[in-house]
Each structure stands twice: as structure tokens, then as C-alpha cells.
Amino acid sequence: MIRVLHLLFVFVPIVTFSAWAKEKVDIAIIETLPVAIVTESRIAFEAELQRLMPDKDIHFRVYNAEGSVEQANALLSDMLAESTPDLVVSLATLATRAVLNKDELLSIPKLFMVVSEPVTEGIVPAFGATSKRNITGESHVVNATVKLDMLDGVFQASEPVKTRKIALLHTTYPSSFNAASALIAIQSAYQNIQFIPIKTPYIAKEAGLETMKEDIISLLKSEETALDGYWLSAGPLIETPNLIADIKKQTGLLPLFAESVSAVKEGALIGIVSQAQDIGVSAAKQAERILALGSSETIPVEQIENFTVAVNVTTAIKLQLPIPSNYLRLSEQHVYQ
């Protein structure tokens, strides 16, 4: 009798343990390049998804494409050789381009993050549409008109008839090049703004950031037009360490607009963009929905809802450009000096 009772007591914990076992979820994440906005968005995404799905055992496999579409393709093949994930998440444009075009991933739900121009990239024909490639996501930047309206509002509050000559810094990286093209296409509607395009070839890997920075500084120093400042668009270049400080040291120029809150902290006059925390949290909510549906096909591509406006009052004083009071109200906790 004692022996039978012993066996019963041993068996019960095994049943209880099985009931507690969490369902496994395998998520493959491929990053274009481990720059700040990419890494921080991914970390926020992972933390929020685990918070949203505490009953799941979520395993994240992270791959770094080092800024190369070719390497992204190779990593995706390696990933599929290991096992088929429940969801593939791509961060930034080049990794997303590789994911989008890989036919072997068509049946697997996909989610992109930190892609500024999903329409231009051919993911969808327009915002609000769904993709035929089983992928969805959100653009993390506002459109060109909103950005120009913001900067023009500052100029209108100062000298409304003066034209500012602004160096439009960009690279051949897709999001950077597309953003610059969109700005140039509509600049004629703004009499206060004249863009002087300054472009350098995109160079992959982290070491390429320094080379691109040096090229941009060299081009600025050789520019014959008297510049009032410069514009920093989305893309790898804006993530380069000490970019603003080094440009100021060698040219004396300050950025008038930047698509990065950290760039405004470092001296840009004004910026409007989604922060990494907001990008990651919003993407995690989408991922939870995708995993529940088992597909991304019915979820439209949209623009992210949360944007941060940031201003730097020290730069405003240096440039003698008063910041409109409504901008300061919009900036809330993001007024820097």
C-alpha cells in the first residue's frame, strides 16, 4: 500500500508540469544594420511582445545583415535551413527588401519595422492597402509635406520673405534617397526653402558610416553656395556617431531639420519622427495579431500613429529663429538646449 501511494505522488507533479508548459513561438528577426534606431526598436519589440503574450514561450532568432541585401538573402536561407519560424520580422529597408522578394518566405507571415517608404519599396501600392507577399508593417516617418510645413512655420515666424539655402544631405541608401527625392519634388511650393542636394554613395557595414560622414563633410566644404544649414533625412547616415558635432566643427553648419530625436538633442533645430520605443511597441501589437491570425495578408500597411516633435532652443537662439509657441507645446518633454 505504501508503494502504491508513493507512485501516485510521483505521477501528479508530472501531470501538473505538463499543464504549465507554454506553447513555443519562434520569431526570426533580421536587421539591416545594428544602428541605434534599429537595435532599440528591436529591443522594445521583444520586451513588449513578451509582455503581451506571457502565456507563450517566445524564442527570438536575430540576424545582422551588416547593411547588405546579399548578406540578408544568405542569412534568410540559413534561417530557413534551421527551421521555419512562426513569424519573420525585418528591420529597416534593405533587410525588408530581401524578405519581401524571397519566394521561400511567401507562406510565412512577415512584419517590417523602421521602413520609411513602404509604398516606394513596392510593398503596397498605397497606405491602407494589403500586400500580396504576406507582409505588413508601419512607416515610422511622416510625409514630406508635413516635414516641410513644420520647418516653413519656423521661417515664417522669423523672416517670411527670406529664402534659406539648405544642404539636403542624403545617400543612395533607399530610404535616404527616396526621402530626398520627395522633398525636392515639392520644394517649389515653399518660397522660403531652396534645397542644395548633397549626395554620397551608400557604403554597407558599420565602417561605412564613417566613410560616408567624411564624404559628406568634404562635399559640404567644397560647396560654392552659401548655405544656411542642412537637412538630415532618415537612413543610416543620420545614425553615424558624432555626425552633427563633426560637421559643425569643420563647416560651422547646424542641421535645420532632422528625422531623429537624438539628432535634435545634439543640435538640430527641429525634428519630427517616431521614437524607437514607439516603433517597437506598435510593431509588437501587430505581431500579436499576426500570430493569432497565422497570416499578415489581411492587415494593411499604415503609417505609425505616434510621432514626437522635438526642438532645440539653443540652436534656435544661435540661428535667431524663434520657435512658434504651438511647436513648443507639441514638443512637451522634447525641448532641448
The CATH number of whichever domain residue 282 belongs to comes to 3.40.50.2300
Domain count, the chain: 2
Enumerate the H helices of the chain as residue ranges.
2-20, 36-52, 69-82, 93-101, 144-158, 174-186, 207-222, 243-251, 261-265, 276-293, 313-318, 325-331
Same domain as 130, residue 39: yes
Residue among 184, 197, 193 nearest 163 (CA): 193
User: What pLDDT score does 20 carry?
Assistant: 65
CA distances from 103 to 21, 92, 98, 107, 296 (A): 34, 19, 10, 9, 15
Distance CA 84, CA 27 (A): 9
CA distances from 240 to 12, 30, 115, 210, 220 (A): 58, 20, 18, 7, 16
End-to-end CA distance of the chain: 80
The C-alpha atoms of residue 37 and residue 52 are separated, in whole angstroms, by: 22
Same domain, 315 and 214: yes
The C-alpha cell that represents 174 in the structure block: 533607399
Give the pLDDT score at 22: 87
Q: Which of 301, 304, 311 is nearest to 141 (CA)?
A: 304
Alpha carbons 218 and 215: distance in angstroms, whole number: 5
Q: Are residues 187 and 328 in the same domain?
A: yes
Question: Do 219 and 284 share a domain, yes or no?
Answer: no
Report the run of H or E that residue 58 belongs to, with start and end: strand 56-64
154 shares a domain with 121: no
Determine the pLDDT at residue 130. Answer: 98
Give residue 30's identity as a one-letter amino acid code.
Answer: I
Which domain covers residue 198, as residue numbers? Answer: 144-273+308-336
pLDDT by position in tens, the chain (length 337):
444 444 444 444 544 444 467 899 999 999 999 999 999 999 999 999 999 999 999 999 999 999 999 999 999 999 999 999 999 999 999 999 999 999 999 999 999 999 999 999 999 999 999 999 999 999 999 889 999 999 999 998 887 778 999 999 999 999 999 999 999 999 999 999 999 999 999 999 888 999 999 999 999 999 988 999 999 988 999 999 999 999 999 999 999 999 888 999 999 999 988 899 999 999 999 999 999 999 999 999 999 988 899 999 999 999 999 998 888 888 888 889 8
> Do 76 and 49 fall into the same domain?
yes
Do 36 and 107 belong together in one domain?
yes
Calculate the CA dihedral of residues 311, 313, 316, 321 and round it to 10 degrees. Answer: 80
Q: Say whether both 195 and 322 belong to one domain.
A: yes
DSSP helix/strand/coil, 166: strand
pLDDT at 206: 84
Report yes or no: 251 and 218 within 8 Å, Cβ to Cβ: no
Q: What is the DSSP string of 255-303?
A: EEEES-HHHHHTT-SEEEE--HHHHHHHHHHHHHHHHHHT-STTSPPEE
**111 with 26, same domain?**
yes
Same domain, yes or no, for 232 and 298? Answer: no
Same domain, 114 and 135: yes
CA distance 28 to 120: 25
Say how far apart CA 273 and CA 289 lie, in whole Å: 25
**Residues counted in the chain:** 337
What does the buried/exposed string (b/e) look like for 138-161 if buried means 16 or more CB atoms within 10 Å of the residue's CB? bbbbbbbeebbebbbebbeebeee
CB 204 within 8 A of CB 235: no
Give, in order, the Cα–Cα distances in Å from 143 to each of 272, 331, 332: 10, 18, 22
Same domain flag for 226 and 114: no
